[in-house]
Amino acid sequence: MKDETVADRARLTALVLARRLRHLGFAARRPVRGLATRRSRVPERLLIAPQDIRTADPTVAADIYSGYFVFDGKAVNTRGASPFDVDPPTEAWAAALAGFGWLRHLRAAETALARVNARALVGDWIAGAARMGGPGTRPDVTARRLLSWLSQSPLILEGADAVFYRAFTRSLTRQADTLLGIVDRGLGGTARLTALVALCEVALCAEGMARLQRKASRLLADELGRQILPDGGHVSRDPQALLDLLLDLLPLRQAYAAREVAPPPPLLNAIDRMMPMVRCFRHGDGALALFNGMGSTRPDVLATVLAYDDARGAALTNARYSGYQRLDAGDASLIVDAGCPPPPTFAARAHAGTLAFEFSHGAQRLIVNCGAAPEAQPAAREASRATAAHSTLVLGDRSSSRFAQRGSLRGILYTGPRVVTAERGGTGEGEMLDLSHDGYARRGGYVHGRRLWLSADGLRLAGEDRLVPAEGRKPVEAGFTIRFHLHPALRAVAARHGTAALIAGPDGAHWLFEAGGLPVAIEEGIFFANPDGPRRAEQIVVHGDAANAAPVAWSLAWSPARDAGQGEG
Name, in order, each residue with C-beta under 8 angstroms of 425's C-beta and a sequence gap of 6 or more. 431, 432, 434
Our CA dihedral for 272, 238, 194, 320, rounded to 10 degrees, sits at -40
pLDDT of residue 549: 72
Between CA 473 and CA 498 the distance in angstroms is: 36
Residue-wise pLDDT for 321-376, tens only, equals 999 999 999 999 999 999 999 999 999 999 999 999 999 999 999 999 999 998 77
Residue-wise pLDDT for 261-314, tens only, equals 999 999 999 999 999 999 999 999 999 999 999 999 999 999 999 999 877 778
Domain range summary for the chain, segments of one domain joined by + = 38-227, 326-563
**CATH class of the domain at 326-563:** mainly beta
- In 206-346, DSSP assigns E strands to 318-319, 324-329, 332-337
DSSP state of 471: T
pLDDT of residue 5: 63
Between CA 546 and CA 39 the distance in angstroms is: 64
pLDDT of residue 561: 57
Is residue 236 within 8 Å of 347, Cβ to Cβ? yes
Query: 561: exposed, middle or buried (C-beta count within 10 Å: 0-12, 13-18, 19+)?
Result: exposed
The distance in angstroms from the start CA to the end CA of the chain is 37
Q: Please report, for the chain, how many H helices and E strands are present, in that order.
A: 15, 21
pLDDT of residue 31: 43
pLDDT of residue 17: 60
Is residue 473 within 8 Å of 454, Cβ to Cβ? no
Low-confidence ranges of the chain (pLDDT < 70): 1-39, 129-132, 561-569
* C-beta neighbour count of 383 within 10 angstroms: 15
Is residue 163 within 8 Å of 12, Cβ to Cβ? no
Is residue 82 within 8 Å of 69, Cβ to Cβ? no
pLDDT of residue 29: 47
Q: What's the pTM?
A: 0.91
The pair phi, psi for residue 558, each rounded to 5°, is -65, 135
Between CA 560 and CA 563 the distance in angstroms is: 5
Is residue 242 within 8 Å of 234, Cβ to Cβ? yes
Instruction: Quote the distance between the C-alpha of residue 72 and its chain's center.
Output: 16
How big is the CA angle at 346 (ends 480 and 293), to the nearest 5 degrees?
55
DSSP string over 32-88: HHHHHHS-PPPPS-B-------S---THHHHHHHTTEEEETTEEEE-TTS-GGGSPP
